[in-house]
Amino acid sequence: MERLRIRRYDYLVTGGAGFIGSHLCEELLRRGSSVLVLDDLSTGNLANLEGCVDSSEFSYVVGSVLDESLVSEAVDLCGRVIHLAAAVGVRNIIDRPVETIEANVTGTENVLKAAGKKDKTTFVASTSEVYGKSEAVPFKEDGDIVLGATSRSRWSYACSKAVDEFLAQAYWKDKGLPVVVGRLFNTVGPRQSGRYGMVLPRFVSQALDSQPITVYGDGLQTRCFSLVEEVVDCILELLHCPNAVGRVVNIGSVQEVTIMELARTVKERSGSSSKISLVPYEEAYPTDFEDMRRRMPDVSLLLKLVGRAPQAGLEEIVDAVIGWARQTRE
């Protein structure tokens, strides 16, 4: 297979065949940019790129961010780098701890090293998981992070993404690489798979299948859900914001909802006859699992830098996911 189509691209998107990556690629093409995707299809899917593949401004290579020479070639061909490739989903992370750490730490190191050599402006996707068990809600970027014991796999994800953040900021401080880190909060929308444990696609398919909607724990834990299109806009704004360089910035909505409220909204908006059932954590996850009670971003830095934050309401978000799920079932 041809490794890379040799031409220049405006953007390299690692993890571009994933849920967020594919929306990002579509938006970049819509804005008239050219895009190269690097994705190993571990959790991404070429079907996600259906809206991109016919464009002459788009190309992809199936490969891993662990392949240092491939990453270096790909970075060289592109003007800017958006690094999304990472292990995704709590379920996946618990099941595959070695892959999680390698993808997150070595993969990001390879991307930053290559970008650093050629001084390519880079966005690194991080996650609200790095706040860990902090109770200082809403979470501010410069607040303390509180992680659990290393015997609990979940924390390897937070810890490996925190290493990514240290590394990105070190590349800025030490080598002057223009890099911005976005801490993404729960991002949802069309094409998100429920396979890796994510709650909204799971609830929607349970509702459409008339199966019980499985709320873990007491359902009073909260999350703030953002629509992927709005998250993509924030990523692109940050990448072009000179004041964001060298910073870590929360990207999320401030609309806090309980998981029970989410289940009720899915049931109501889909007109489903499913019952909502509470599933104890011990049945849902392996024994060493710890869930976060509340997770909400402080978005003042994001608002200051780019003048916007995701704001779609819960019903709009749930309707978008139900509409997409119905359409793909037809």
- The residues of the shown chain that bind ligand UDP, judged by CB under 6 A, are 90, 186, 197-199, 202, 214-216, 221, 223, 259, 291, 295
Beta bridge partners of 258: 222
The least distance separating ligand UDP from the CB of residue 19, rounded to whole angstroms, comes to 12
Q: Cα separations (Å) of 79 from 7, 74, 119?
A: 11, 10, 9
Catalytic residue among 9, 11, 131, 157: 157
Looking at beta carbons only, is 182 or 197 nearer to ligand UDP? 197
Beta carbons of 74 and 39 less than 8 angstroms apart: no
Looking at beta carbons only, is 114 or 125 nearer to ligand UDP? 125
The least distance separating ligand UDP from the CB of residue 54, rounded to whole angstroms, comes to 32
Looking at beta carbons only, is 29 or 200 nearer to ligand UDP? 200
Looking at beta carbons only, is 52 or 103 nearer to ligand UDP? 103
Q: Cα separations (Å) of 153 from 96, 243, 325?
A: 9, 35, 31
196 annotated active-site = no
Please tell me what DSSP assigns to residue 315: H
Beta carbons of 234 and 250 less than 8 angstroms apart: no
The least distance separating ligand UDP from the CB of residue 200, rounded to whole angstroms, comes to 7
Residue 291, C-beta contacts closer than 8 angstroms, at least 6 positions apart: 216, 217, 221, 281, 285
Burial class of residue 315 (count of CB atoms within 10 Å of its CB; 0-12, 13-18, 19+): exposed
The least distance separating ligand UDP from the CB of residue 192, rounded to whole angstroms, comes to 9
Catalytic center residues:
157
